[in-house]
């Protein structure tokens, strides 16, 4: 009810304030008997850590995961998987100065109006640190998805004013991993970096866009009315801090297209395989996966913590001028890419499990195109 739980069969509950004892989560409904590679999970978590780059927050988060339950002798038990990521290197005193000030475009204002009593240290529960728990839970979901042939890859296509205009159909994961900004085009990546250096210099920040592609997903995932796969992906993405927009397949461009141009024709190949000639659908028709690649994009706003002076008010209604110094990223994009993958993995794994009862003969495996 308080919205800290996502998913119906595979359900993930997140908890923790950024400067409390720990952030963490409980992943319930994970099937029993799955091999759990803890190193893989730690690796996923590490991807979310601030890079060596000068552009990211200098906060040293070791983000070491502690599994509390649900895994025994290297395999899942089918019971709730609880885990913690301790909050080390807490410096709450960094936040005392802004303790009772509404930082513009932060959640301070709305938390205060909703709860009256708030944890003012570093955003508390509104901190992006909460996404560490998402990435850990998503890593478990990925382990499950990998075992059934589903792969998820997210990457940066825009940072501030620099965009990729042509995006290859096949993206090489190594090129993504080699880019600090997780952009598969080295030239664009370089330009993005320059832009961020300039913004840092001027005490400013910017936003960006992440694209995500899911391959190997069987047809049939998603429920036809409210829990459309596209709707659940939209919700999961828009639940990430700083998200401002979501579009799938042709997205906003679809609005100006004609039906004859937009419709994805279906053809039968010589080898008998059924194929969509285009993929404006983004791999989802009527809310249900069609077996083609699922692809979507998520827009993120600029980091609101800027060094430049801003006008605001405090809790008591007094006007204030503030400049937010300290450990803050110039752009969320590189750190949000693994979060997009994690949220996609949680949604797809949940729907994979949800799709199993649809038929009377529940052990029937659905054909994939």
Select 172 or 198, whichever has its Cβ closest to a second copy: 198
Task: Between 64 and 359, name the residue whose CB sits nearer to a second copy.
Answer: 359
Give me the least distance between CB of 298 and a second copy, in Å please: 10
Closest CA to 152 of 215, 234, 231: 215
Residue reference for tokens 């919700």: 235
Closer by beta carbon to a second copy, 151 or else 227:
227
Tokens at 114, concatenated: 């909703």
Is 51 or 287 the residue whose CB approaches a second copy more closely? 287
Q: What is the CA radius of gyration of the chain?
A: 21
Q: Could you tell me the smallest distance in angstroms from the CB atom of residue 44 to a second copy?
A: 19
Contact call for residues 23 and 3 (beta carbons, < 8 A) = no
The residue (of 173 and 313) whose beta carbon lies closer to a second copy is: 313
Minimum gap (Å) between residue 212 Cβ and a second copy: 14
Buried b vs exposed e over 332-353: b needs ≥16 C-beta within 10 Å?
bbbbbbbbbbbbbbbbbbbbbb
Whether residue 296 contacts residue 246, with contact meaning beta carbons closer than 8 Å, is answered with yes
CB of 196 to a second copy, least distance (A): 11
Residue with smaller CB distance to a second copy, 179 or 290? 290
Smallest distance, Å, CB 174 to a second copy? 25
Q: Which SS3 state, helix, strand or coil, does residue 142 take?
A: helix
Residue whose pair of structure tokens reads 């800290």 in the numeric block: 4
Which residue, 173 or 308, is less far from a second copy as judged by CB?
Answer: 308
Q: Provide, rounded to whole angstroms, the least separation between the CB of residue 249 and a second copy.
A: 6
Work out how close the CB of 218 gets to a second copy at its nearest, in angstroms, rounded to a whole number: 8
User: What does the alpha-carbon distance between residue 96 and residue 71 come to, in Å, rounded to a whole number?
Assistant: 40
CA 82 from chain center: how many Å? 20
Q: Which has the closest alpha carbon to 333: 360, 308, 298, 361?
A: 298
What is the rounded CA–CA span in Å between residue 162 and residue 164?
7
């Amino acid at each position: 009810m308080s919205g800290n739980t996502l998913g119906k069969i595979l359900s993930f509950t997140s908890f923790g304030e950024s400067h409390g004892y720990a952030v963490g989560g409980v992943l319930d409904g994970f099937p029993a008997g799955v091999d759990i590679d803890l190193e893989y999970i730690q690796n996923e978590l590490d991807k979310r850590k601030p890079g060596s780059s000068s552009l990211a927050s200098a906060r040293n988060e070791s983000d070491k995961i502690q599994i509390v339950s649900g895994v025994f002798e290297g395999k899942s038990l089918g019971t709730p998987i609880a885990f913690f990521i301790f909050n080390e290197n807490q410096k709450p005193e960094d936040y005392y100065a802004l303790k009772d000030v509404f930082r513009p475009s932060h959640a301070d204002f709305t938390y205060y109006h909703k709860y009256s009593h708030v944890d003012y240290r570093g955003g508390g529960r509104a901190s992006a640190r909460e996404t560490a728990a998402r990435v850990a839970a998503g890593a478990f979901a990925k382990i499950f998805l990998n075992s059934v042939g589903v792969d998820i890859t997210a990457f940066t296509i825009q940072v501030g004013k620099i965009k990729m205009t042509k995006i290859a159909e096949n993206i090489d994961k190594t090129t993504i991993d080699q880019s600090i900004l997780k952009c598969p085009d080295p030239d664009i990546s370089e330009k993005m970096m320059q832009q961020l250096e300039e913004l840092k210099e001027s005490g400013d920040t910017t936003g960006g866009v992440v694209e995500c592609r899911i391959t190997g997903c069987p047809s049939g995932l998603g429920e036809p009315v409210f829990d459309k796969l596209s709707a659940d992906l939209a919700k999961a993405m828009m639940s990430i801090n700083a998200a401002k927009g979501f579009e799938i397949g042709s997205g906003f461009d679809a609005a100006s297209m004609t039906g004859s141009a937009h419709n994805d024709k279906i053809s039968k190949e010589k080898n008998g395989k059924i194929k969509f000639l285009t993929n404006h659908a983004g791999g989802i028709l009527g809310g249900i996966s069609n077996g083609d690649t699922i692809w979507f994009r998520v827009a993120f706003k600029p980091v609101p913590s800027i060094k430049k002076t801003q006008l605001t008010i405090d809790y008591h209604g007094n006007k204030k001028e503030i400049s937010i110094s300290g450990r803050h990223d110039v752009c969320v994009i590189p750190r949000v890419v693994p979060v997009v993958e994690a949220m996609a993995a949680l949604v797809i794994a949940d729907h994979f499990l949800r799709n199993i009862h649809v038929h009377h003969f529940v052990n029937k495996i659905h054909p994939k195109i």
